[in-house]
Structure 1
Amino acid sequence: MPVYQVVTSGVELTEEQRDALATRFTDTHHEVTGAPDPFVRIVFQPLPLGLMYTAGRVEPSLILSAGCRGGRSEQTRHELMTKLYEVIQDVVGLPADQVVVVVSDTPSSWIIEAGMVLPEPTHDAEALWMKKLDEMFPGKYQQYV
Protein backbone atom coordinates (compact mmCIF):
# COMPACT_ATOMS: atom_id res chain seq x y z
CA MET A 1 0.00 0.00 0.00
CA PRO A 2 -0.34 2.65 -1.50
CA VAL A 3 -1.85 1.88 -4.88
CA TYR A 4 -1.54 4.53 -7.58
CA GLN A 5 -3.84 4.22 -10.58
CA VAL A 6 -2.98 6.33 -13.61
CA VAL A 7 -5.97 6.48 -15.95
CA THR A 8 -5.40 8.19 -19.28
CA SER A 9 -7.66 8.89 -22.22
CA GLY A 10 -6.32 10.57 -25.34
CA VAL A 11 -2.91 10.74 -23.65
CA GLU A 12 -0.52 8.13 -25.01
CA LEU A 13 2.26 7.51 -22.48
CA THR A 14 5.46 6.03 -23.81
CA GLU A 15 7.23 3.24 -21.96
CA GLU A 16 9.85 5.77 -20.88
CA GLN A 17 7.15 8.08 -19.47
CA ARG A 18 5.49 5.18 -17.61
CA ASP A 19 8.86 4.12 -16.19
CA ALA A 20 9.63 7.71 -15.13
CA LEU A 21 6.21 8.20 -13.54
CA ALA A 22 6.41 4.88 -11.67
CA THR A 23 9.90 5.62 -10.35
CA ARG A 24 9.16 9.21 -9.41
CA PHE A 25 5.76 8.44 -7.80
CA THR A 26 7.52 5.79 -5.70
CA ASP A 27 10.32 8.18 -4.73
CA THR A 28 7.84 10.98 -3.97
CA HIS A 29 5.62 8.77 -1.83
CA HIS A 30 8.62 7.52 0.15
CA GLU A 31 10.07 11.04 0.52
CA VAL A 32 6.81 12.58 1.75
CA THR A 33 5.41 9.75 3.90
CA GLY A 34 8.44 7.63 4.79
CA ALA A 35 6.65 4.48 3.56
CA PRO A 36 9.02 1.75 2.31
CA ASP A 37 9.45 1.60 -1.48
CA PRO A 38 8.53 -2.10 -1.97
CA PHE A 39 4.91 -1.38 -1.06
CA VAL A 40 4.23 1.39 -3.57
CA ARG A 41 2.19 -0.06 -6.46
CA ILE A 42 1.60 1.79 -9.74
CA VAL A 43 -1.05 0.71 -12.27
CA PHE A 44 -1.47 2.29 -15.72
CA GLN A 45 -4.93 2.09 -17.27
CA PRO A 46 -5.09 3.63 -20.76
CA LEU A 47 -8.56 4.20 -22.18
CA PRO A 48 -9.29 4.98 -25.82
CA LEU A 49 -10.33 8.57 -26.45
CA GLY A 50 -14.10 8.65 -26.17
CA LEU A 51 -14.36 6.63 -22.95
CA MET A 52 -13.61 9.47 -20.52
CA TYR A 53 -15.69 12.63 -20.33
CA THR A 54 -15.26 16.01 -18.66
CA ALA A 55 -18.43 18.08 -18.29
CA GLY A 56 -20.16 15.80 -20.79
CA ARG A 57 -17.47 16.22 -23.45
CA VAL A 58 -14.68 13.97 -24.61
CA GLU A 59 -11.35 15.53 -23.70
CA PRO A 60 -7.84 14.16 -23.22
CA SER A 61 -7.24 13.58 -19.52
CA LEU A 62 -4.95 12.01 -16.96
CA ILE A 63 -6.36 11.04 -13.57
CA LEU A 64 -4.02 9.91 -10.81
CA SER A 65 -5.94 8.21 -8.03
CA ALA A 66 -3.91 7.17 -5.00
CA GLY A 67 -5.32 4.94 -2.29
CA CYS A 68 -3.12 5.43 0.78
CA ARG A 69 -3.03 4.26 4.36
CA GLY A 70 -4.85 6.76 6.53
CA GLY A 71 -3.54 8.53 9.59
CA ARG A 72 -1.35 11.21 8.07
CA SER A 73 -1.87 14.96 8.38
CA GLU A 74 -3.67 17.21 5.91
CA GLN A 75 -0.35 18.98 5.38
CA THR A 76 1.26 15.68 4.35
CA ARG A 77 -1.63 14.91 1.97
CA HIS A 78 -1.37 18.35 0.33
CA GLU A 79 2.40 18.07 -0.02
CA LEU A 80 2.01 14.61 -1.58
CA MET A 81 -0.68 15.78 -4.04
CA THR A 82 1.34 18.85 -5.05
CA LYS A 83 4.54 16.89 -5.64
CA LEU A 84 2.70 14.16 -7.58
CA TYR A 85 1.11 16.82 -9.79
CA GLU A 86 4.55 18.37 -10.39
CA VAL A 87 5.92 14.95 -11.41
CA ILE A 88 3.09 14.52 -13.93
CA GLN A 89 3.72 17.97 -15.38
CA ASP A 90 7.47 17.38 -15.57
CA VAL A 91 7.12 13.97 -17.28
CA VAL A 92 3.98 14.43 -19.40
CA GLY A 93 3.44 18.20 -19.59
CA LEU A 94 -0.35 18.34 -19.96
CA PRO A 95 -2.49 21.46 -19.62
CA ALA A 96 -3.44 21.90 -15.96
CA ASP A 97 -7.15 21.38 -16.65
CA GLN A 98 -6.46 17.91 -18.08
CA VAL A 99 -4.88 16.55 -14.88
CA VAL A 100 -6.65 15.38 -11.72
CA VAL A 101 -4.81 14.08 -8.64
CA VAL A 102 -6.82 12.36 -5.88
CA VAL A 103 -5.36 10.96 -2.66
CA SER A 104 -7.83 8.90 -0.64
CA ASP A 105 -7.17 7.46 2.80
CA THR A 106 -8.10 3.99 3.96
CA PRO A 107 -7.77 3.00 7.62
CA SER A 108 -4.76 0.73 8.20
CA SER A 109 -7.00 -1.91 9.75
CA TRP A 110 -8.85 -2.27 6.42
CA ILE A 111 -5.73 -3.24 4.43
CA ILE A 112 -3.77 -6.48 4.23
CA GLU A 113 -0.41 -6.61 2.53
CA ALA A 114 1.96 -9.58 2.59
CA GLY A 115 -0.72 -11.45 4.54
CA MET A 116 -0.77 -9.04 7.49
CA VAL A 117 -3.01 -6.14 8.45
CA LEU A 118 -1.08 -2.90 7.98
CA PRO A 119 0.12 -0.99 11.04
CA GLU A 120 -0.79 2.56 11.90
CA PRO A 121 1.67 5.04 10.33
CA THR A 122 3.79 5.45 13.46
CA HIS A 123 7.45 4.55 13.79
CA ASP A 124 6.98 1.90 16.50
CA ALA A 125 4.01 0.18 14.80
CA GLU A 126 5.78 0.14 11.44
CA ALA A 127 9.03 -1.17 12.95
CA LEU A 128 7.21 -4.10 14.57
CA TRP A 129 5.34 -4.85 11.32
CA MET A 130 8.55 -4.74 9.29
CA LYS A 131 10.24 -7.07 11.79
CA LYS A 132 7.42 -9.59 11.35
CA LEU A 133 7.63 -9.17 7.58
CA ASP A 134 11.38 -9.82 7.64
CA GLU A 135 10.74 -13.02 9.63
CA MET A 136 8.19 -14.17 7.03
CA PHE A 137 10.46 -13.32 4.08
CA PRO A 138 14.03 -13.70 5.43
CA GLY A 139 16.38 -11.11 3.99
CA LYS A 140 13.94 -9.62 1.50
CA TYR A 141 12.98 -6.62 3.64
CA GLN A 142 15.96 -6.59 6.01
CA GLN A 143 17.07 -3.12 4.91
CA TYR A 144 13.77 -1.72 6.21
CA VAL A 145 13.96 -3.30 9.67
Structure 2
Amino acid sequence: MATYSVYFAGLSLTTHQKFTLAQAITKIHADITGAEAYFAQVIFKSLDMHDCFIGGVLLNEPHIFLNGQIRIGRSEQIKKQLLVELEIAIQTTTCLAGHQIWAYIDEITPGQMIEYGQILPAVGDDGVWFSTLPSSIQKKLNYLNS
Protein backbone atom coordinates (compact mmCIF):
# COMPACT_ATOMS: atom_id res chain seq x y z
CA MET A 1 0.00 0.00 0.00
CA ALA A 2 2.99 2.23 0.38
CA THR A 3 5.79 2.40 -2.12
CA TYR A 4 8.90 4.29 -1.11
CA SER A 5 11.23 5.00 -4.01
CA VAL A 6 14.71 6.03 -2.91
CA TYR A 7 16.70 7.77 -5.64
CA PHE A 8 20.31 8.54 -4.79
CA ALA A 9 22.98 10.48 -6.65
CA GLY A 10 26.61 11.17 -5.86
CA LEU A 11 26.93 8.38 -3.33
CA SER A 12 27.03 4.64 -3.29
CA LEU A 13 24.76 2.70 -0.97
CA THR A 14 25.94 -0.72 0.12
CA THR A 15 23.57 -3.66 0.26
CA HIS A 16 23.72 -3.40 4.05
CA GLN A 17 22.77 0.29 3.95
CA LYS A 18 19.87 -0.48 1.61
CA PHE A 19 18.71 -3.30 3.88
CA THR A 20 19.00 -1.07 6.97
CA LEU A 21 17.14 1.76 5.29
CA ALA A 22 14.42 -0.55 3.90
CA GLN A 23 13.90 -2.01 7.37
CA ALA A 24 13.73 1.48 8.92
CA ILE A 25 11.31 2.82 6.30
CA THR A 26 9.06 -0.22 6.69
CA LYS A 27 9.04 0.07 10.50
CA ILE A 28 8.41 3.82 10.42
CA HIS A 29 5.54 3.39 7.97
CA ALA A 30 3.95 0.58 10.00
CA ASP A 31 4.42 2.30 13.37
CA ILE A 32 3.10 5.69 12.29
CA THR A 33 0.24 4.61 10.00
CA GLY A 34 -0.80 1.45 11.83
CA ALA A 35 -0.65 -0.51 8.56
CA GLU A 36 0.89 -3.96 8.51
CA ALA A 37 4.57 -4.08 7.54
CA TYR A 38 3.80 -6.18 4.45
CA PHE A 39 2.11 -3.17 2.88
CA ALA A 40 5.38 -1.22 2.59
CA GLN A 41 7.79 -1.73 -0.24
CA VAL A 42 11.07 0.09 -0.77
CA ILE A 43 12.77 0.48 -4.14
CA PHE A 44 16.29 1.87 -4.62
CA LYS A 45 17.55 3.54 -7.79
CA SER A 46 21.01 4.99 -8.34
CA LEU A 47 21.14 8.15 -10.43
CA ASP A 48 24.10 9.64 -12.25
CA MET A 49 25.06 13.06 -10.83
CA HIS A 50 25.05 14.39 -14.39
CA ASP A 51 21.35 13.56 -14.66
CA CYS A 52 20.30 15.62 -11.62
CA PHE A 53 19.62 19.34 -11.53
CA ILE A 54 18.29 21.60 -8.80
CA GLY A 55 17.17 25.05 -9.87
CA GLY A 56 18.47 24.29 -13.34
CA VAL A 57 21.99 23.77 -11.98
CA LEU A 58 23.82 20.46 -12.10
CA LEU A 59 23.85 18.71 -8.74
CA ASN A 60 27.22 19.25 -7.05
CA GLU A 61 26.95 17.10 -3.92
CA PRO A 62 25.34 13.80 -2.91
CA HIS A 63 21.57 13.77 -2.52
CA ILE A 64 18.77 11.35 -1.77
CA PHE A 65 15.29 11.94 -3.12
CA LEU A 66 12.57 9.89 -1.40
CA ASN A 67 9.10 9.63 -2.90
CA GLY A 68 6.51 7.83 -0.80
CA GLN A 69 3.17 6.86 -2.30
CA ILE A 70 0.57 6.06 0.35
CA ARG A 71 -3.17 5.54 0.51
CA ILE A 72 -5.20 8.70 0.91
CA GLY A 73 -6.96 9.10 4.24
CA ARG A 74 -4.23 9.87 6.76
CA SER A 75 -4.05 13.08 8.76
CA GLU A 76 -1.62 15.90 8.04
CA GLN A 77 0.05 15.16 11.39
CA ILE A 78 0.72 11.54 10.38
CA LYS A 79 2.14 12.59 7.01
CA LYS A 80 4.42 15.19 8.64
CA GLN A 81 5.58 12.64 11.23
CA LEU A 82 6.33 10.17 8.41
CA LEU A 83 8.46 12.75 6.61
CA VAL A 84 10.42 13.77 9.71
CA GLU A 85 11.14 10.21 10.82
CA LEU A 86 12.03 9.09 7.29
CA GLU A 87 14.53 11.95 6.98
CA ILE A 88 16.11 11.01 10.33
CA ALA A 89 16.43 7.37 9.21
CA ILE A 90 18.09 8.45 5.96
CA GLN A 91 20.49 10.74 7.82
CA THR A 92 21.37 8.01 10.30
CA THR A 93 22.00 5.41 7.59
CA THR A 94 23.85 7.59 5.09
CA CYS A 95 25.42 10.41 7.17
CA LEU A 96 23.97 12.95 4.72
CA ALA A 97 22.94 16.36 6.02
CA GLY A 98 19.30 17.43 6.03
CA HIS A 99 19.76 19.76 3.06
CA GLN A 100 20.89 16.73 1.00
CA ILE A 101 17.66 14.82 1.59
CA TRP A 102 14.46 15.69 -0.20
CA ALA A 103 11.34 13.71 0.70
CA TYR A 104 7.77 13.72 -0.59
CA ILE A 105 4.55 11.94 0.32
CA ASP A 106 1.98 11.45 -2.45
CA GLU A 107 -1.49 10.10 -1.76
CA ILE A 108 -3.35 7.69 -4.01
CA THR A 109 -6.98 6.61 -3.79
CA PRO A 110 -7.01 2.93 -2.72
CA GLY A 111 -9.34 2.02 -5.59
CA GLN A 112 -6.54 3.04 -7.96
CA MET A 113 -4.05 0.57 -6.49
CA ILE A 114 -3.71 -3.19 -6.81
CA GLU A 115 -1.38 -5.34 -4.74
CA TYR A 116 -1.26 -9.08 -4.15
CA GLY A 117 -3.83 -9.37 -6.95
CA GLN A 118 -6.50 -7.32 -5.16
CA ILE A 119 -7.75 -3.73 -5.25
CA LEU A 120 -6.60 -2.15 -2.01
CA PRO A 121 -8.97 -1.22 0.82
CA ALA A 122 -9.59 2.17 2.35
CA VAL A 123 -7.49 3.08 5.37
CA GLY A 124 -8.89 1.12 8.32
CA ASP A 125 -10.37 -1.73 6.25
CA ASP A 126 -7.18 -3.80 6.09
CA GLY A 127 -8.51 -6.70 8.17
CA VAL A 128 -11.55 -7.26 5.97
CA TRP A 129 -9.35 -7.04 2.85
CA PHE A 130 -6.86 -9.53 4.31
CA SER A 131 -9.63 -12.04 5.08
CA THR A 132 -10.66 -12.11 1.41
CA LEU A 133 -7.19 -13.09 0.18
CA PRO A 134 -6.39 -16.69 -0.77
CA SER A 135 -4.84 -18.61 2.12
CA SER A 136 -1.51 -18.94 0.28
CA ILE A 137 -1.23 -15.12 0.09
CA GLN A 138 -2.31 -14.75 3.72
CA LYS A 139 0.44 -17.16 4.73
CA LYS A 140 3.03 -15.20 2.73
CA LEU A 141 1.91 -11.88 4.22
CA ASN A 142 1.94 -13.25 7.75
CA TYR A 143 5.53 -14.39 7.12
CA LEU A 144 6.51 -10.93 5.81
CA ASN A 145 4.91 -9.33 8.85
CA SER A 146 6.82 -11.46 11.35
Indicate whether the TM-score tops 0.5: yes
2:12 maps to what in 1? 12
Write the distance in 2 (CA, Å) between the matches of 1:138 and 1:4.
23
Aligned with residue 99 of structure 2, among 84, 97, 100: 97
Which consecutive residues of structure 1, in runs of 5 or more, have no partner in the other structure? Answer: none
Which consecutive residues of structure 2, in runs of 5 or more, have no partner in the other structure? Answer: none
Alpha-carbon RMSD across the aligned residues, in angstroms, is 1.7
Give me the TM-score of the superposition, normalised by structure 1. Answer: 0.90
Aligned-partner SS, 1:7: strand
* Structure 1 outlier segments of 4+, above 6 Å: none
Instruction: After TM superposition, list the pairs within 5 Å mapping 1:77-96 onto structure 2.
Output: 77-96=79-98
| Matched residues, number | 142
Change in CA separation of 1:19 and 1:142 when aligned onto 2, cut-off 3 Å: closer
> Displacement, 1:115?
1.5
Alignment-mate amino acid for residue 58 of structure 2:
R
Alignment-mate amino acid for residue 39 of structure 2:
F
1:33 maps to what in 2? 33
Give me the TM-score of the superposition, normalised by structure 2. Answer: 0.90
Instruction: After TM superposition, list the pairs within 5 Å mapping 1:1-145 onto structure 2.
Output: 1-55=1-55, 56-59=57-60, 60-122=62-124, 125-135=125-135, 137=137, 139-141=139-141
Write the distance in 1 (CA, Å) between the matches of 2:138 and 2:9.
42
Change in CA separation of 1:26 and 1:138 when aligned onto 2, cut-off 3 Å: closer
Q: Deviations over 1:88-123 (max 9, x none)?
A: 01111112211101011001111111111111111x
